[in-house]
Amino acid sequence: MLNKYKKILDPEKIPFFNIINNQIIQLFILITLVCFIVDFNFPNSNLVIPFLITTLISSFTTFLGIPQLKKIKIKQIIREEGPKNHFVKQGTPTMGGIFFIPVGIIISNLLYFNKEDYKIILTLSFLIMFFMFIGLIDDLLSLKKQFNTGLTSNQKLILQLCISVVFIIICYSNNFIPNTIQIGNNLLSLGNLIYPLGIFVLIAESNSTNLTDGLDGLLSGCSVLIFTGLAITILINNPADHNTLGPLCIVMAGSCMGFLFLNKYPAKLFMGDSGSLAIGASLGGIALISNNLWSLLIMGGILAAESISVIIQVSIFKIAKRLKGKGYKLFLMAPLHHHFELKGNNETVIVSSFWFVTLLLVIINLIFFIKP
């Protein structure tokens, strides 16, 4: 059976295989050009150099990490109820988040060490690293159990809640988070409600990225676009933050870009929960502090759709089972990308389509939902 699926996934027999490689190069060139144009047009903007440096270092550390993971047999466990053609991915090294997430954190701290807003970078670094550690624990337990889940959903939620509460307390003590939500030229005042909302955002965003990480290159590619869009949004909406949070976003984009070169189809390495949870936490934390939650919601529409598809699937199934004695599935499988897979769409086509939708959402945000 395994040989059967290997034939199905043979890169030479997939017409879109070369397209996905070309699209990754195009994505890299696009982000580089955007960073260059932004740096040229905005005084004191410095995005292109950190992006290029981080991309290079991230791809290098990820490349070096793959044989080490193989050596200690850190390999992906494929869930039995998942798409059957994923069984060929069984044994691919995972836990790649530990090789590219720290790159972004270290470079951002080196860039802003002892500067005026360094405490913000340090606080966000705390958040990202601890969410990475939660994912790392989950990945290691999964390998120990030889099952595709490590921590139970409640255990993971409790750990996410604890870290999120500590982060919000630190932000509250230092007045990092504004008590408003900016939507274009309008400000929605929330008062102290912003703090419980912040906890919800961190948990929801990290779980959304975790659910999105189900196809080769899907989350890493979408993250590159969202982080870049967030950097530009901060530069325009929050000039006071553009020297700290903007470059932090582009450094994280570079980390994801470097990882993407080895995470593209067919993936040489998966990021695991150690990568996906950290990406979600960083997006949520940066959006909270920079007052760009609405922009994150727009640009991260794919992440939201993946998460909502799971909620809808589970809810409808349980309601139907309670009312009719038999569950009903709205989607062939959730999250959403698996539904499209089971509809017969090629994995590379789904990934490139989701990238394109994310690019459109970033453009829509920059045109309609930032201050003119």
Quick one: pLDDT band at residue 27, thresholds 50, 70, 90? very high
Per residue in 267-284, pLDDT (tens digit) is: 999 999 999 999 999 999
Assess whether pLDDT exceeds 80 at residue 104: yes
Q: Is the peptide bond before 102 cis (omega within 30 degrees of 0)?
A: no
Assess whether pLDDT exceeds 90 at residue 130: yes
Per residue in 288-323, pLDDT (tens digit) is: 999 999 999 999 999 999 999 999 999 999 999 888
Per residue in 40-71, pLDDT (tens digit) is: 988 778 899 999 999 999 999 999 999 998 88
Burial (CB < 10 A; 0-12, 13-18, 19+), residue 13, is exposed
Number of compact structural domains in the chain: 1
Q: Is the peptide bond before 372 cis (omega within 30 degrees of 0)?
A: no
Q: What are 188's strand-pairing partners? A: 181
Domain range for residue 206?
2-295
In this structure, is residue 125 part of a structural domain?
yes
Of the given ranges (76-80, 128-132, 305-309, 364-368), which has the lowest mean pLDDT? 76-80
Per residue in 211-257, pLDDT (tens digit) is: 999 899 999 999 999 999 999 998 888 766 566 788 899 999 999 99
In this structure, is residue 240 part of a structural domain?
yes
In this structure, is residue 178 part of a structural domain?
yes
* Among candidate residues 218, 212, 220, the one with its CA nearest the CA of residue 55: 220
Measured CA to CA, the distance from residue 261 to residue 221 in angstroms comes to 10
In this structure, is residue 52 part of a structural domain?
yes
Burial (CB < 10 A; 0-12, 13-18, 19+), residue 71, is exposed
Whole-angstrom CA distances from 314 to 25, 161, 200, 205, 309 are 38, 22, 20, 19, 9
Q: Residues 82-109: what's their mean pLDDT?
A: 85
* Among candidate residues 196, 197, 230, 223, the one with its CA nearest the CA of residue 208: 223
At residue 10, the pLDDT reads 45
In this structure, is residue 363 part of a structural domain?
no
Cα dihedral 114, 118, 122, 127 in deg (nearest 10): -170
Of the given ranges (94-103, 147-156, 210-219, 347-356), which has the lowest mean pLDDT? 147-156
Predicted TM-score (pTM) of the model is 0.91
At residue 186, the pLDDT reads 80
At residue 14, the pLDDT reads 47
Per residue in 313-353, pLDDT (tens digit) is: 999 999 998 888 888 888 999 899 999 999 989 999 999 99
Quick one: pLDDT band at residue 3, thresholds 50, 70, 90? very low
In this structure, is residue 365 part of a structural domain?
no
Per residue in 157-211, pLDDT (tens digit) is: 999 999 999 999 999 999 999 998 888 778 888 899 999 999 999 999 999 999 9
In this structure, is residue 359 part of a structural domain?
no
Percent share of the chain, pLDDT over 70:
87
In this structure, is residue 23 part of a structural domain?
yes
Quick one: pLDDT band at residue 22, thresholds 50, 70, 90? confident
Whole-angstrom CA distances from 173 to 44, 129, 163, 176, 267 are 29, 20, 15, 8, 43
- Helices 272-290, 118-145: crossing angle, 10 deg rounding: 150
Q: Sign of torsion, CA 364 365 366 372? A: positive
Measured CA to CA, the distance from residue 303 to residue 307 in angstroms comes to 6
Alpha helix ranges (H) inside 187-300: 194-212, 218-237, 245-263, 272-290, 293-299
